[in-house]
Chains A and B, each alone.
Chain A
């Protein structure tokens, strides 16, 4: 294990995790709105936002799937040291993190079951940038419409059609985060 794996966590976990979670809560409640989130300094290619989100959510009870370039020794060691989360394949993961191409295909993740739709994966999608433009979002949490630079449209429409089952998404870039729960209707911008 590299020394780098031991650093970059929260310095005051209870307070930093609470502040970071508020950003994630607001993001999930207002799909497509972009919020600032910080606290962690994870190893590349994990962004500050994705690393912080993992520290907020992951522990020994949440298998994490690392997709694509994120499945790197530095990232594995960092997540293992700071969260204790077991690393897992797509089908067992409660959380998955990676870039969009690496995370696909989506049908490999858990979408919950009719009696327990909450038993579904949450994907943290690393983006080059997040902007309030592009796909038109409507649904719960959105007064009229929000716009977000999603990596594509079709996958989210397919996911919406599964409701109340489905996957929920966070999008991260640098120290910014947005979310897209399964309830959001996505259309071409």
Chain B
């Protein structure tokens, strides 16, 4: 028996997939609301994307093409391991090219290339509850969501302004979905927040915290702010040292032992695509 045949399609058993699928449908029906689910142990530790992996396993079909990114990169340990996991257990095609992917599992970034209808973006989420660091009790945060009691979140943003003169929250910046639920967009940079208004389906899986939530396509996602301190999608004031893009989100990387550093695109596929296009132009 070949190794691949020893696994059920996409690893999880059918009962588990049915449970996750029911959860995903309710999540889509109540955008931004965190639906509890019976998260399973996966063959990787919590914190390595077990929530995202379970959602991906439940939505994957045999004809899908899967892309996995970690902080925008296709070639980091987490992304490579998860891609290999599904190559082995679901025998799906994989890609690093954003437009070629039908399912994209992501840790902490939205790809630079706009996503289209027919694509599904699965986020790995560490702490799904946006109010958790303000109110540690689940019983209380659940009531706050039920009563739409989000004043505390605005107090937190206000304290940012009082202390620092600006809202310094730079990632996991809270959003309000369709004017109802306040949602943690996972630790994506706030640069990505406005890009959550998209044509693709967005699903969020938190394995350790046992929550799944979703944002359907063309759904209003608004970053919380104040009239006099409007939301700003910030990024490093630089251009990519490799492809020269001034629009993409940049990582600062240290390149030698003497303090040398440069800014490069966090989205490796976007950067490589631009450099490929430049090389092609140079040849032509």
Contact = CB atoms under 8 A, between A and B. Distances in A.
Interface of A: 13-15, 17-19, 21-22, 24-26, 28-30, 56-59, 61-62, 94, 114-118, 120, 122, 139-143, 163-164, 168, 181-183
A11 to B, nearest CB: 13
A28 B18 contact: no
Contacts of A182: 29-30
Given A141-B217, A143-B217, A164-B180, A21 B21 contact: yes
Contacts, number: 115
Interface stretch (B7-15, B72-80, B155-163): B7-15
Contacts of A13: 14
B59 to A, nearest CB: 6
A141 B199 CA distance: 8
A29 B216 contact: yes
A17 B268 CA distance: 34
Interface string B193-225: 000000101000000000000101111100000
Contacts of A163: 180
B21 A15 contact: no
**Those 8 A-B pairs whose CB atoms lie nearest each other, nearest first:** A14-B9, A181-B29, A114-B146, A141-B216, A140-B219, A118-B26, A168-B29, A118-B35
A183 B181 CA distance: 13
Interface residues of B, number: 45
Given A18-B60, A115-B146, A143 B218 contact: yes
B25 A25 contact: yes
Contacts of A18: 9-10, 17, 59-62
A64 to B, nearest CB: 13
B261 interface: no
B89 to A, nearest CB: 11
Given A115-B142, A141-B218, A19 B29 contact: no
Interface of B: 8-10, 14-15, 17-19, 21-31, 33, 35-36, 58-63, 120, 142-143, 145-147, 178, 180-181, 199, 201, 214, 216-220
B217 A29 contact: yes
Given A15-B9, A17-B14, A57-B22, A114 B217 contact: no
B8 A140 contact: no
Contact of B18 (A22, A56, A142): A56
B225 to A, nearest CB: 21
Given A18-B60, A18-B62, A115-B142, A62 B14 contact: no
Given A29-B28, A115-B146, A164-B33, A22 B14 contact: no
Contacts of A22: 59, 61
A115 B143 contact: yes
A59 B15 CA distance: 8
